[in-house]
């Protein structure tokens, strides 16, 4: 088979996968299959299938923006569609090739041609009528050959010796791989032989682009570092290291596998909610329904909810479980109304076996979302399905929610979590040290536990700070290093309560920006870094939740979560970041002292 024939077979297969993906999202009742809207379709149609390599599907797209969108928004559904089609697990690698889809004699397209295509495909907020008009406009602007299912242009053939061989999807499907961890993967055909598929030649540019490169330079570096070309064998090894199991429709990606009952420290302060959570996981909808867990921020409510989902999934892998924050539920509902997909939204949430909603108090003031959640709650409860809710206050104090919601929350078990005592806090730190493989003596753990008592999040943050300080200074963790690392965080040194306004003001002053720039839309590296540090400090020095911090910066909770995780990682790797946080923290404390 020639390279041209291989490319044609690849694109025919990719179009088939895209078609099945779109049709399946529109017709499926599976709660884990998100609807494929016009914008998603446009990005899928921009992609070209290069080949299948050792359980990795290699796609090429014309721009970095398209690559980022596919990896960030469509990774799971593409892997699931490929896995279902070929009967084995597939992960995804996306490479940028600006020349795909162009003939050699074609003039270069304008830089915003891709954006124009996406603008055409993006639905307006005008409802059903305007949405239909948009779709028709997109259809009129689609090339004629594309409407017939033909490729408008073929990629140039590449030399056979330039790259390793990969399996081309064809009528004879590739043999299924052994699933990891003993999990079974559905197969559509068992008749495929290992050598039944023809070979496809990969272009060297595609293989080299696939190789992942980590960001090892400082955030202050403005110049782009050149990437040294690597042999194809390195790219193959990199692809294998990035492989992920195919998406299982019966499992929910929102569950954090690290949050289990085994990693949850039980004490008198949380014994009741923990016992109830275990009972709910073992007997959904037959023990306590709904289960309402409340307590102050940072006491382990989210951990407990993830543990319920992970344990229930372990006992019965076929259970349909979903964990969402109230903000995620609200955004899903708003998007379904905007895209005229309310029925799909209802199927996703009402066909569940267990629904867990975190921080339910943030539904306040959202009348439309409360109405939809009320009907979702009723549908699940009447269908014998489990509901788990969490809040920072008991149901009777949620006065901003409708009475009919509060009374339903009170119909099940209400369990509260108290701040942990000293011994429990020490046990939490010991488990944290064990999980992170950090050696710390008991007297160090006692020092930290005695100084941070109101929040487990604050407690673990202090421990990570001590660990990072010792690592960056090449010292062992002892009482002296712990006291030095926590000097500015000790509660008794705080003269007045630290607020987000103070943190933003001091961070902006340190980096030479304004508060408006920190909360603005600029994505330049220096401003983004300063904003991430400010978000991290808001989580460390205040008791505000993720949505509240995000609201102050004009961002959603996922942005705050990403920023906190990124800065926490940099603390252990970059001395510059550690010094910046130390200096800004000192500025905040000095500002508080007047």
In three-state form (DSSP H/G/I as H, E/B as E, the rest C), the secondary structure along 434-445 is: HHHCCCCCHHHH
> What are the domain boundaries of the chain?
3-241, 271-416, 422-492, 494-593
Structure tokens at 363: 């539904």
- DSSP-based three-state secondary structure for 392: coil
**Which pLDDT band, with edges at 50, 70 and 90, does 537 fall under?**
very high
Q: Note the pLDDT of residue 209.
A: 36
**Which pLDDT band, with edges at 50, 70 and 90, does 115 fall under?**
low
**Which pLDDT band, with edges at 50, 70 and 90, does 452 fall under?**
confident
**Which pLDDT band, with edges at 50, 70 and 90, does 131 fall under?**
very low
Structure tokens at 108: 């270069």
Q: Note the pLDDT of residue 35.
A: 66
Section 337-366 average pLDDT: 91
Count of alpha carbons within 13 angstroms of residue 508, beta-carbon side: 15
Q: Note the pLDDT of residue 384.
A: 93
**What is the third-level CATH fold of 494-593?**
Chromosomal Replication Initiator Protein Dnaa; Chain: A; (1.10.1750)
Of 23-27, 59-63, 275-279, 336-340, give the range with the top mean pLDDT: 275-279
**Which pLDDT band, with edges at 50, 70 and 90, does 173 fall under?**
very low
- Confidence check: pLDDT of 3 > 50: yes
Q: Note the pLDDT of residue 415.
A: 92
Section 383-396 average pLDDT: 93
Structure tokens at 483: 């006291």
Q: Per the annotation, does 300 bind a ligand?
A: yes
Structure tokens at 161: 């010796």
Query: Cα separation of 427 and 431, whole Å?
Result: 6
Count of alpha carbons within 13 angstroms of residue 567, beta-carbon side: 26
**347, 26 contact by CB (below 8 A):** no
Q: Note the pLDDT of residue 281.
A: 95
The answer to which of 75-89, 90-104, 354-368, 564-578 has the lowest mean pLDDT is: 90-104
Query: Cα separation of 89 and 503, whole Å?
Result: 46
- Confidence check: pLDDT of 557 > 50: yes
Mind listing the pLDDT tens digit for each residue in 141-168? 444 343 333 434 444 444 333 334 444 3
**Which pLDDT band, with edges at 50, 70 and 90, does 28 fall under?**
low
**Which pLDDT band, with edges at 50, 70 and 90, does 128 fall under?**
very low
Name residue 354's beta-bridge partners.
321, 386
230 compared with 15, residue with greater pLDDT: 15
In three-state form (DSSP H/G/I as H, E/B as E, the rest C), the secondary structure along 374-389 is: HHHHHHHHHCCCEEEE
Section 523-527 average pLDDT: 91
Which residue, among 218, 210, 203, 120, has the nearest Cα to 164 in the 3D structure? 203
Q: What angle do CA 522, 523, 525 make, to 5 degrees?
A: 120
Q: Note the pLDDT of residue 494.
A: 44
Q: Specify whether domain 422-492 bears CATH 1.10.8.60.
A: yes
**360, 329 contact by CB (below 8 A):** no
**What is the third-level CATH fold of 271-416?**
Rossmann fold (3.40.50)
- In the chain, the percentage of residues whose pLDDT exceeds 90 is 27
Q: DSSP label at 397?
A: G
The residue to which tokens 């899903």 are assigned: 332
pTM as predicted: 0.46
Mind listing the pLDDT tens digit for each residue in 76-113? 788 888 878 887 777 788 888 887 755 444 444 444 54
- Confidence check: pLDDT of 451 > 60: yes
**Which pLDDT band, with edges at 50, 70 and 90, does 427 fall under?**
very high
Mind listing the pLDDT tens digit for each residue in 207-220? 333 333 333 333 33
The overall average pLDDT reported for the chain is 74
Section 233-256 average pLDDT: 48
Order of strands across the sheet that contains 321-325: 321-325, 354-358, 386-391, 291-294, 413-416
The residue to which tokens 């943190």 are assigned: 503
Mind listing the pLDDT tens digit for each residue in 492-519? 544 457 889 999 999 999 999 999 999 8
Query: Cα separation of 476 and 438, whole Å?
Result: 10
Mind listing the pLDDT tens digit for each residue in 43-62? 888 888 888 766 778 888 88
């Amino acid at each position: 088979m020639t390279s041209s024939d291989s490319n044609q077979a690849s694109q025919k297969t990719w179009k088939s996968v895209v078609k099945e993906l779109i049709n399946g999202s529109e017709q499926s009742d599976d709660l884990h299959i998100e609807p494929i809207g016009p914008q998603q379709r446009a990005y899928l149609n921009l992609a070209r299938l290069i080949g299948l390599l050792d359980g990795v599907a290699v796609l090429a797209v014309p721009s970095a923006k398209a690559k980022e969108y596919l990896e960030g928004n469509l990774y799971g559904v593409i892997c699931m569609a490929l896995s279902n089609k070929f009967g084995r697990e597939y992960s995804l690698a996306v490479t940028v090739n600006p020349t795909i889809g162009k003939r050699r004699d074609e003039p270069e397209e304008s830089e915003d041609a891709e954006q124009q295509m996406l603008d055409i495909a993006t639905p307006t907020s005008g409802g059903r009528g305007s949405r239909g008009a948009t779709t028709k406009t997109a259809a009129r602007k689609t090339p004629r050959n594309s409407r017939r299912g033909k490729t408008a242009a073929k990629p140039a053939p590449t030399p056979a010796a330039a790259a390793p061989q990969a399996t081309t999807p064809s009528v004879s499907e590739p043999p299924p791989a052994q699933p990891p961890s003993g999990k079974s993967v559905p197969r559509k055909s068992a008749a495929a032989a290992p050598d039944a598929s023809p070979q496809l030649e990969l272009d060297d540019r595609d293989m080299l682009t696939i190789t992942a490169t980590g960001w090892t330079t400082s955030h202050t570096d403005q110049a782009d570092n050149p990437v040294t070309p690597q042999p194809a064998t390195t790219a193959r090894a990199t692809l294998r290291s990035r492989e992920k199991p195919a998406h299982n429709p019966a499992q929910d990606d929102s569950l954090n596998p690290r949050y289990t009952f085994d990693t949850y420290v039980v004490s008198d302060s949380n014994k009741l909610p923990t016992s109830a959570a275990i009972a709910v996981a073992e007997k959904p909808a037959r023990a306590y329904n709904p289960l309402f867990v409340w307590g102050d921020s940072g006491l382990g409510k989210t951990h407990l909810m993830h543990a319920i989902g992970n344990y229930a999934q372990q006992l019965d892998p076929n259970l349909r479980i979903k964990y969402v924050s109230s903000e995620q539920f609200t955004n899903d509902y708003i998007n379904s109304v905007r895209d005229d997909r309310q029925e799909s939204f209802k199927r996703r949430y009402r066909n569940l076996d267990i629904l867990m909603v975190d921080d339910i108090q943030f539904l306040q003031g959202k009348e439309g979302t409360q109405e939809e959640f009320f009907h979702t709650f009723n549908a699940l409860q009447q269908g014998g399905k489990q509901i788990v809710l969490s809040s920072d206050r008991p149901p009777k104090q949620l006065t901003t929610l409708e009475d009919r919601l509060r009374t339903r929350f009170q119909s099940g078990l209400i369990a509260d979590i108290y701040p942990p005592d000293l011994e429990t806090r020490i046990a939490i730190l010991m488990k944290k040290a064990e999980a992170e493989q950090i050696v710390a003596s008991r007297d160090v753990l006692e020092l930290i536990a005695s100084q941070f008592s109101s929040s487990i999040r604050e407690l673990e943050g202090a421990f990570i700070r001590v660990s990072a300080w010792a690592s960056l200074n090449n010292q062992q963790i002892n009482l002296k290093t712990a006291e030095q690392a926590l000097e500015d965080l000790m509660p008794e040194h705080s003269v007045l309560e630290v607020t987000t306004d103070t943190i933003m003001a001091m961070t902006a002053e340190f980096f030479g920006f304004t508060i408006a720039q920190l909360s603005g839309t600029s994505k330049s590296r220096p401003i983004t870094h300063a904003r991430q540090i400010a978000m991290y400090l808001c989580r460390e020095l205040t008791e505000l939740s993720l949505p509240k911090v995000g609201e102050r910066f004009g961002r959603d909770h996922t942005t705050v979560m990403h920023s906190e995780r990124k800065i926490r990682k940099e603390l252990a790797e970059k001395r510059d970041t550690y010094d910046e946080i130390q200096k800004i923290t000192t500025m905040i404390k000095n500002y508080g002292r007047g």
